[in-house]
Structure 1
């Protein structure tokens, strides 16, 4: 123990004699080839993993980068073989860092990604694993999708070379490349054909490496037992033969046991690891961008984008830009319902519809004030440079997972399809599970919507004729307004389609037009969806006024065809009742909107502070009962405290905080005034509906305090001119937005008002909608305007009350305790 083994010295053979047990000594070239065999085998096995993984990449850049990592790691191990083992790790880490940074730079340049190397490397390091497993097939070789494979290839090659060359255990050195190869197969999953060729090559190269004797264990003679006595050589060879036989027996036994299991799994579909990784999420604002239409309509000058189209590709009137496609409807909200996958510069291409002509469009888009994650593009995008994107092929919707930022500039190359119009007249619509998503009609559809859809379908048999009938019905009967309330749930659509014109119905933004078309189309058997985007008039700034929504219908052999149900500017809408056949079971359209308060001569006030109908002060019974000056003093102090608290509450709402908070406070002042007047508003009403009710309440309060106008002459009914035409007969006194403007200016009902109340309250509702749908844009001037509008309305409503109710109004404790 501790002594060197005995050295056996062989005497040289005499000239002319043969030594059968000693083979010929190999030359220097033979020794070099034998020494390089194992490193080459390890390098090839590691590089084959890159070949397997590269099958799901868009181009061979990843394969070359992994091959370079394999070569670099093995060469570092070979070059440092004579050095102490502790020097290998720092040298290899330095080589790994250099090759990784070079790979990231090449990948960033290949994908045309902006940013410096440090920024790119930090982003790739933080997102390598999730982006690799959520990337769309084919995967673009970008920094975040090549970082993990390159590092894994380097570490596998280094570990294999150190084990096989430094310790001489070649078979154990095969383990890291084999694990890397298996990992590549797992990542590819079912997204590529079986890797039969690379697998056979991997096994063949491994066999060659095992067949080559190790240079470390084969000294000068080339025979591991050369130079030993004959008896020792025989024993060693016997043990080697027995060990080889035992190894072969073990391999055969394992193969016999595992072969049936492996054979049974050959036909199975590999597991896709992508199903275990959650794709990028989006906010609700990006899931339902349809609700942004009303906010944009109230701020038409908001600068959202800048667009520059490649010369020679512009269209008269501009090119339609798509923001999102909404395919799912639950009766309340339209949603995108997309599954986004990280995509590279090149997006998956879909075959155009038969007969459709294609037109390439290339645009440079610069983001200004557009927020969210949705990325505008002309349909259908094929290449995006300048921004990292995630893509949903089913809807063609793009997002930027990091979110939009002012100044973001990117270029989109799209293929715009123009369907063959000659095929539309006879085209059918698809059916079945493949299109069930865009045919689904949620439960709870109003009966009037169903009857209208049935009427339009009965009068038009062909699918395209049905779609045209819905388009013409909406365009011919409804008005496009910017101040219509947002909403596309069933009640909103029913009010839009069948509500009274003088009560806010039959008018809306493109949100209601597109949503109504889509719902009516599905009820008529058409697969429909809603698209939100922009209709710019040409290159240059894209403003909020250019935002729009439009419906699309899917036809067999044609594809998705857009429709335009918006009214024509030079046409006057016809009343819905002229063309929609009501049934005896249908209520008149005037009863469809949300219920409103009936006019009353006196409005009850819920207050326990006194008798509301005896014309005496609220504290009279208390004062009479008390009969003392102390009671009078106590009541007076209480009233002063209440009045002071009410005054402080009003000042806090209207004068303190940011502009958005002051506008919201002004709105609470208006709703409190309605509640004090005995006409509380429900939380389910939109701002515009509350404004209409507020106008009616003030009109009724004024009418209750003034005598009615003289009866009309027998030869003709009285009439009130309005923007919608004259309102005659007994209904001439009914409130309408247009009539409110006239009576406000001329002193309707014998009273001269300082300002038309209806438009003023609707202006306040518009400011509130701006705060809700376009946060951060309210100004101090708008907040001052909202405070003035709310103060004037509350004062006018209070002035229309009896004198004792005006006193109670000032000290009523309700606003102090009502939930805000």
Structure 2
């Protein structure tokens, strides 16, 4: 009987063969998967060129490695199990990424709330963020999700299905998306696409044919050593040839591409200011009326002193805190008109001012680094005060306007909000100003706009002041000196900077209330007159900087004008008079003469000469006396008739206004709520600031509160002014009537009480707004016909 043959010691056991086969299979799957992770990480490196710091490339690389490892770990599991497990791992990784990016960007708050906000605003904030983009939760969430999906798809196609060429497509699409995100906002880099091509070639080269199935999978395959060497040598030589060809051709291809890449940010509308912050110039009068109001605190660090060659006055302007820059003027109001883009902690450089057609841009002066720490007290709105030009901000999320170098906080200001700003404040080379010209052309058209109807007398007034000034800088100095020498600063002056307000301020004599104003009138008058004589100008609203920092109160609020010069940039001017200075009277030659009437004067025939020199008879004298008496009686009758007509008109207006008030207070509960809302609109119309038609109920309530806050209010011990009631509840009731239908907020039987509360709120607001008017406006409040013209 022949015994069965035993395997020799040199033969491999079946179990060992299967182990080696499995190890070879894992190695064959691991290398292409690692190539996929490397390609995805390289796409993150490309996108990180428009991000600040290295956090985004690190998070992208972590997502790529995590997705690939999960795919490899579940390679032998059913395919339907991969997606749920990978999604769960992605959620956990996203929470980790949100936590890390929030800590990096100093964003506080519960993790769940920050994550929800990031998921809700990921794409809009990413496309409207300024470059360099701050890696914070809402700007890293979308790239991480895309990187995870690309790595998972590439690894599944490569490792599970053994399709390495198809597995390169997801990383390739991700890399193309990264290039689109970067657009024209970064310089050309050659080594990244070369490395991407090299990794892709390696991934295809090392991957073998599809793994055999069934019994063939366990059959040993013997490959001769010579064939292995020739294959490896051929692949290496081919790879080197491809890399050399790419290195030689890439520069020629790069130079042949002359088109600028498309920037996706141009297709997304950035956030803009609401109506309450579009024209902060109206706040100046309110600040002047309450000089002790505590707005915020500021502390400084860094070199805030001007250089020895700089002019002291210009240096003082440069270190003021800017709140807003008002560039647009339509003859009625100055407003911001800027685009605020979501920004991170590192802010881009401000856009250089326009140089005009065929003219060079201004050269930046020697910068000064100034650090500010600001803590908000009672300053409201969304505009953030800071010294120009901010380069870095910590403590709050901001949106930034690169054209003006100003910032807003989208969530609004509230007491206790603290942030720090690093400003790189350029100095103005005053030695260039006397010979500097001003730019012209389409690029500066917005800074020369003067509205549709320009008063002729203001144009003549501006030309008279600047007559004889040979250069633009001398014209600007002439306007500055004239306003500072002949006009008076008056904290109690009413607000207003439209053409009628400026004409009253500039041309009316002091006995009639003219030639008195706040910095609002001084800055707006300078800027308007400057544009009338061809000087591009704008108005800046901000605050004087306390000598040693500390509390900034409403008395520090100020507006000042700036003029644009070629080769220098925006230069501030100070048309304000010195404290306690006595204004010089304005010469009559500066005041434009009133145009004579267009109708010819009435001619009188000369009297006939008498042939006798005898005195007139007594009857003529008596007739003359009687004629004078009759003339007096006629004049008295006419005056009495006019007075009676005025009384009748005022009485009629009073009755009509009373009838309108009764009509608004009549009807069912819903009609009375809407009538109370109309009463608020009537009060704003009587105050001279009628509400715009496009505002919603909530926006109109905010507008009404801002108007009441900006209105001057003089406190008296015997007759204190009433407080302004909030209108938020009334606005909610109006929305309930408009959208809920039969009931006010679903209260049913409580509608009558709600209607009465609405009436009381409207009456209190109207009374508070009336109390803030001048005495003659209060006197005419109930007979003003303007509410009768409202629908």
The answer to whether TM tops 0.5 is yes
Q: Is the 8 A contact 1:46 1:177 kept in 2?
A: yes
State the distance in 2 between where 1:294 and 1:516 align: 15
| Alignment partner, residue 553 of structure 2 | 543
> Against the structure 1 CA distance between its residues 579 and 369, is the aligned structure 2 distance closer, same or farther, given a 3 Å change threshold?
farther
Residue 561 of structure 2 corresponds to residue 561 of structure 1: no
| Alignment partner, residue 117 of structure 2 | 123
State the distance in 2 between where 1:814 and 1:584 align: 30
| Alignment partner, residue 47 of structure 2 | 53
Shift, 1:575, TM fit: 3.2
Q: Is the 8 A contact 2:771 2:778 kept in 1?
A: no
State the distance in 2 between where 1:67 and 1:331 align: 56
Shift, 1:96, TM fit: 1.4
State the distance in 1 between where 2:764 and 2:303 align: 45
**1:295 alignment partner, one of 286, 299, 322:** 286
Residue 33 of structure 2 corresponds to residue 39 of structure 1: yes
Q: Is the 8 A contact 2:507 2:514 kept in 1?
A: yes
> Against the structure 1 CA distance between its residues 308 and 96, is the aligned structure 2 distance closer, same or farther, given a 3 Å change threshold?
same
**2:492 alignment partner, one of 442, 463, 483:** 483
> Against the structure 1 CA distance between its residues 559 and 484, is the aligned structure 2 distance closer, same or farther, given a 3 Å change threshold?
same
Residue 125 of structure 2: SS of its match in structure 1? Answer: helix
| Alignment partner, residue 383 of structure 1 | 392
State the distance in 2 between where 1:785 and 1:339 align: 35
Q: Is the 8 A contact 2:303 2:368 kept in 1?
A: no
Residue 594 of structure 2 corresponds to residue 603 of structure 1: no
> Against the structure 1 CA distance between its residues 263 and 141, is the aligned structure 2 distance closer, same or farther, given a 3 Å change threshold?
closer
Shift, 1:530, TM fit: 0.4
Q: Residues 683-721 of structure 1: CA distance to partner in whole angstroms, max 9, x if unpaired?
A: 79689xxxxxxxxxxxxxxxxxxxxxxxxxxxxxxxxxx
| Alignment partner, residue 410 of structure 1 | 419
**1:83 alignment partner, one of 61, 73, 77:** 77
| Alignment partner, residue 178 of structure 2 | 184
State the distance in 2 between where 1:648 and 1:289 align: 33
State the distance in 2 between where 1:163 and 1:108 align: 34
State the distance in 2 between where 1:448 and 1:792 align: 30
More divergent stretch after superposition (25-34 vs 64-73)? 25-34
Residue 441 of structure 2 corresponds to residue 432 of structure 1: yes
Q: Residues 622-661 of structure 1: CA distance to partner in whole angstroms, max 9, x if unpaired?
A: xxxxxxxxxxxxxxxxxxxx99x899979x9xxxx9xxx9
> Against the structure 1 CA distance between its residues 600 and 37, is the aligned structure 2 distance closer, same or farther, given a 3 Å change threshold?
farther
State the distance in 1 between where 2:686 and 2:767 align: 25
> Against the structure 1 CA distance between its residues 468 and 477, is the aligned structure 2 distance closer, same or farther, given a 3 Å change threshold?
same
Shift, 1:604, TM fit: 3.3
State the distance in 2 between where 1:357 and 1:325 align: 22
Shift, 1:549, TM fit: 0.5
Residue 323 of structure 2: SS of its match in structure 1? Answer: strand
Q: CA RMSD in A?
A: 5.2
Residue 275 of structure 2 corresponds to residue 284 of structure 1: yes
More divergent stretch after superposition (291-300 vs 349-358)? 349-358
Shift, 1:212, TM fit: 2.5
Q: Residues 752-778 of structure 1: CA distance to partner in whole angstroms, max 9, x if unpaired?
A: xxxxxxx999999997999999x99x9
Residue 145 of structure 2 corresponds to residue 145 of structure 1: no
**2:586 alignment partner, one of 567, 576, 584:** 576
Shift, 1:457, TM fit: 2.9
Q: Is the 8 A contact 1:343 1:389 kept in 2?
A: yes
**2:510 alignment partner, one of 497, 501, 509:** 501
More divergent stretch after superposition (118-127 vs 405-414)? 118-127
More divergent stretch after superposition (69-78 vs 215-224)? 215-224
State the distance in 2 between where 1:341 and 1:157 align: 31
State the distance in 1 between where 2:181 and 2:511 align: 63
**1:162 alignment partner, one of 135, 145, 156:** 156
State the distance in 1 between where 2:207 and 2:772 align: 96
Q: Is the 8 A contact 1:485 1:686 kept in 2?
A: no
Shift, 1:156, TM fit: 1.2
State the distance in 2 between where 1:477 and 1:523 align: 20
Please show how residues 655-734 of structure 1 align to structure 2 within 5 Å: none
Q: Is the 8 A contact 1:295 1:769 kept in 2?
A: no
Residue 304 of structure 1: SS of its match in structure 2? Answer: strand
Shift, 1:104, TM fit: 2.0
> Against the structure 1 CA distance between its residues 194 and 300, is the aligned structure 2 distance closer, same or farther, given a 3 Å change threshold?
same
| Alignment partner, residue 342 of structure 1 | 342
State the distance in 1 between where 2:778 and 2:103 align: 67
State the distance in 2 between where 1:101 and 1:553 align: 50
TM-score under structure 1 length normalisation: 0.65
| Alignment partner, residue 214 of structure 1 | 208
Q: Residues 134-190 of structure 1: CA distance to partner in whole angstroms, max 9, x if unpaired?
A: 111221222211111011101111122123222223333222222212221222222
State the distance in 1 between where 2:773 and 2:277 align: 33
Residue 560 of structure 1: SS of its match in structure 2? Answer: strand
| Alignment partner, residue 678 of structure 1 | none
Please show how residues 607-686 of structure 1 align to structure 2 within 5 Å: none
State the distance in 1 between where 2:45 and 2:153 align: 20
Shift, 1:378, TM fit: 0.9
More divergent stretch after superposition (286-295 vs 211-220)? 211-220
State the distance in 2 between where 1:367 and 1:431 align: 40
Q: Is the 8 A contact 2:725 2:764 kept in 1?
A: no
Residue 576 of structure 1: SS of its match in structure 2? Answer: coil
Residue 529 of structure 1: SS of its match in structure 2? Answer: strand
Residue 590 of structure 2: SS of its match in structure 1? Answer: coil
Q: Is the 8 A contact 2:71 2:155 kept in 1?
A: yes
Residue 463 of structure 2 corresponds to residue 469 of structure 1: no
Please show how residues 513-528 of structure 1 align to structure 2 within 5 Å: 513-528=522-537
| Alignment partner, residue 202 of structure 1 | 196
Residue 550 of structure 1: SS of its match in structure 2? Answer: strand
Gaps of 5+ in 1: 1-11, 16-24, 229-261, 588-598, 613-617, 619-641, 672-681, 688-758, 799-808
State the distance in 1 between where 2:409 and 2:778 align: 50
Q: Is the 8 A contact 2:722 2:767 kept in 1?
A: no
State the distance in 2 between where 1:272 and 1:27 align: 50
Shift, 1:74, TM fit: 0.3
State the distance in 2 between where 1:786 and 1:157 align: 63
More divergent stretch after superposition (45-54 vs 343-352)? 343-352
| Alignment partner, residue 69 of structure 1 | 63
State the distance in 2 between where 1:423 and 1:29 align: 77
State the distance in 2 between where 1:121 and 1:81 align: 31
Q: Residues 658-694 of structure 1: CA distance to partner in whole angstroms, max 9, x if unpaired?
A: xxx99x99x97xx9xxxxxxxxxx979689xxxxxxx
Residue 545 of structure 1: SS of its match in structure 2? Answer: helix
Matched residue count:
623
More divergent stretch after superposition (321-330 vs 191-200)? 191-200
